[in-house]
Amino acid sequence: MRRAGTVVGVTQGVAVVRSTDETFPDVGAELVDERLDAVGAVVDVFGPVTRPYLAVSPSSDRAVTRLVGDVVYAR
């Protein structure tokens, strides 16, 4: 498990995660929080190459607005 980044916002039901560095999870990777609860799956990668943003489709049972500011990890 490695740190994927920090949730910086939510738009149209999709969480936006700012990657920690240039190594980021692939599209389709599952992300979890620090308690290992599923957050969602990466559906897109965009932005600068050095620290891209990840668009994360949340798990159906998660309130994505509560995730803003939280660190997420790739499983």
Q: What's the pLDDT tens digit per position in 2-23?
A: 999 999 999 988 999 999 888 8
Model pLDDT, residue 72? 95
Residues 26-75 pLDDT 10s: 999 999 999 998 999 999 999 999 999 999 999 876 677 888 999 999 98
Among 21, 13, 12, which residue's Cα sits nearest to residue 53?
Answer: 21
pLDDT at residue 71 in the model: 96
Half-sphere exposure of 4 (CA within 13 A, CB side): 31
pLDDT of residue 64: 79
Determine the pLDDT at residue 63: 75
- Full-model pTM: 0.90
